[in-house]
Amino acid sequence: MTLKYMTGFDNEFASEAEGYEGALPIGQNNPQKVKFGLYAEQLSGTAFTIYPRAANKRSWLYRIKPSVVHEPFTPLEMPDLCLNWNDNTKTPPNQLRWEPFDLPANDKKVDFIQGLRTLCGCGDPCMRNGINIYIYSANQSMINKAFYNSDGDFLIVPQIGTLKITTEFGKMVISPGQICVVQQGMRFSIDITESSRGYILETFNRHFELPYLGPIGANGQANPRDFETPVAAFAHVIEEADYAIVNKFQNSFYVCKQNHSPFNVVAWHGNYVPYRYDLSKFCPVNAVSFDHSDPSIFTVLTCPSNQTGVAIADFVIFPPRWIVTEHTFRPPYFHRNCMSEFMGLISGNYEAKQAGSFKPGGASLHSCMTPHGPDLDCFIKSSDGPLPPLKMATDSIAFMFETCLSLKVSKWGLETCNKLDPFYYKCWKDLPDLFKDLGKI
């Protein structure tokens, strides 16, 4: 399997399955008759009339059968599934931290869809405003099953296990240390060979894009050329067993049957595509004299709101980097934020929690205006002593989903999963009073 480089989110891409050269029509998108007896179908990710033109997202798919060929959708009943955070559970403004979430039991087969659990979220997909944050945990491939999301985009962050993702556009493989984005409406299926766990950020509003770099200029952070999208590949079996198509629609799941694979696209072109990114290719910028810049300098992708400079969701990483600042408290500072900050840890130790209390596969949520910062051990070690140049986060991959929305935690997250750490607050409880009152000396 090969993937092609993206050279920018606004560019046009094209791909034909090997051996089917000429499947892409020349000169028009929807000819009277497509070569090889294919059907032309457009997938639109934005309104036809969106302005400016560069913001228009759509792809043309040339497929063996159009996606309209299926039986009616019916509700999909999965009693263990938790998709709803809006369950009258009140979210406390405390600092929240979760221990690593469970992998499926060995005697229970759970695929990617069955293993989705909503940890927190906000908004309404019907109104096209909001996000969801999920934990997925699975140990079985999706067999004769595909999924697509009518509500928004999925940004998938593996923590354990490699995901082999088949999409209408072709195949992708992502492992811990990589991410992928499968955008609204795109059908996909996930194969796994080992127990897998990770995080998902779902956005209802707009699509992810590269952040505005301003004075940084044209290069650095996540470079466009490092994003990859699949090469066309298709499945065509004349007589197949029923295929289940699962659809997330208005925060509920529905399923329909069809007698052919949904991955029957022989060729495609457009700029509305699934893509993957290797986090090791992120090129960080940093302060080189004193103080340190805000964590927004580590933004990989952003989903903008309608207010300039404010994100519905940012995907931020804290990569390996050199710290050289002088006269500076180098770890993340104590902080209260009008944004909500959800953090996950893929591997290693997070730099602001030196005691190792924040574990890979766990998570934390610091809600709007809830104070947070380095723990006692980190504060003491970083407040005194020499400040030589230091390579930070060499064995760690930590990330943050940051949003301007105030997130509600689901009942599963607060109670059912039984992973919420009731003693998280104690990592700050013993911070000493170091004030020297001159009037009492």
Q: Which of 292, 326, 351, 415 is catalytic?
A: 292
- Give residue-wise pLDDT tens across range 325-383: 999 999 889 999 999 999 999 999 888 776 678 999 999 999 999 999 988 888 988 89
Burial class (CB within 10 angstroms; exposed 0-12, middle 13-18, buried 19+) of 18: exposed
Order of strands, sheet of 13-16, starting from the edge strand that comes earlier in the sequence: 13-16, 265-270, 58-63, 39-44
Please state the domain extents for the chain.
70-263+271-279, 283-422
What pLDDT sits at residue 292? Answer: 86
Cis preceding-peptide flag for 304 (omega within 30 of 0): no
User: Where does 70-263+271-279 sit in CATH, by number?
Assistant: 2.60.120.10
Which residue(s) pair with 200 in the sheet? Answer: 134, 156
Question: How far is residue 84's CA from residue 105's CA, in Å, rounded to a whole number?
Answer: 23
- Give residue-wise pLDDT tens across range 225-252: 999 999 999 987 655 678 999 999 998 9
What pLDDT sits at residue 83? Answer: 66
Examine the pLDDT at 8 and tell me if it is beyond 50.
no
Which residues have a Cβ under 8 Å from the Cβ of 153 and sit 6 or more positions away?
181, 182, 183, 184, 202, 203, 207, 208, 303
With tokens 């207010």, the residue in question is 307
Which carries the bigger pLDDT value, residue 53 or residue 144?
144
- Give 212's DSSP letter: P
With tokens 């090791």, the residue in question is 280
Q: Which helix (H) or strand (E) holds 379?
A: helix 376-383
What pLDDT sits at residue 311? Answer: 94
Whether 236 sits among the annotated catalytic residues: the reply is no
Q: What share of the chain is helix, strand, coil (3-state, %, to 5)?
A: 10, 35, 55
Whether 341 sits among the annotated catalytic residues: the reply is yes
Q: Which of 168, 269, 366, 402 is catalytic?
A: 366
What kind of architecture, by CATH, is found in domain 283-422?
Sandwich (2.60)
Q: Which of 41, 269, 372, 402 is catalytic?
A: 372
- Give residue-wise pLDDT tens across range 97-145: 999 999 999 889 999 999 999 999 999 999 999 999 999 999 999 999 9
What pLDDT sits at residue 10? Answer: 54
**Contact assessment for residue 113 and residue 83, using Cβ atoms and an 8 Å cutoff:** no
- Give residue-wise pLDDT tens across range 275-300: 999 999 999 999 999 998 888 999 99
Examine the pLDDT at 31 and tell me if it is beyond 50.
yes
What pLDDT sits at residue 80? Answer: 60
What angle (nearest 5°) sits at the alpha carbon of residue 137, between those of residues 134 and 142?
105
Order of strands, sheet of 397-403, starting from the edge strand that comes earlier in the sequence: 96-98, 363-366, 340-347, 397-403, 311-318, 299-304
| E-only strand ranges, 187-323 | 188-191, 196-203, 228-230, 243-249, 252-258, 265-270, 275-278, 299-304, 311-318, 321-323
Please choose, from the candidates 230, 228, 227, 260, the residue with its C-alpha nearest in 3D space to the C-alpha of residue 170: 230
Across all residues in the chain, what is the average pLDDT?
91
Q: Which of 202, 341, 351, 402 is catalytic?
A: 341
Torsion sign, CA atoms 62, 63, 65, 66: negative
Which residues have a Cβ under 8 Å from the Cβ of 121 and sit 6 or more positions away?
85, 86, 130, 131, 132, 133, 202, 407, 408, 410
What pLDDT sits at residue 176? Answer: 97
Q: What is the mean pLDDT of residues 408-437?
A: 92
pLDDT band at 81 (very low <50, low <70, confident <90, very high): low
**Contact assessment for residue 234 and residue 295, using Cβ atoms and an 8 Å cutoff:** no
Whether 292 sits among the annotated catalytic residues: the reply is yes
Cα Rg of the chain (Å, integer): 23
Torsion sign, CA atoms 40, 45, 47, 48: negative
Whether 77 sits among the annotated catalytic residues: the reply is no
Q: Which of 335, 351, 402, 415 is catalytic?
A: 335
Fold matches, 70-263+271-279 and 283-422 = yes
Of all residues in the chain, what percent carry a pLDDT higher than 90?
77
Reported residue count of the chain is 441
Examine the pLDDT at 1 and tell me if it is beyond 60.
no
What pLDDT sits at residue 236? Answer: 73
What pLDDT sits at residue 397? Answer: 92
Which carries the bigger pLDDT value, residue 356 or residue 317?
317
- Give residue-wise pLDDT tens across range 207-225: 999 999 988 998 999 999 9
User: Which residue intervals of 120-205 are DSSP H helices?
Assistant: none
Whether 168 sits among the annotated catalytic residues: the reply is no
Q: What is the pTM of this model?
A: 0.95
Q: Is 80 helix (H, G, I), strand (E, B) or coil?
A: coil
Question: How far is residue 407's CA from residue 131's CA, in Å, rounded to a whole number?
Answer: 9
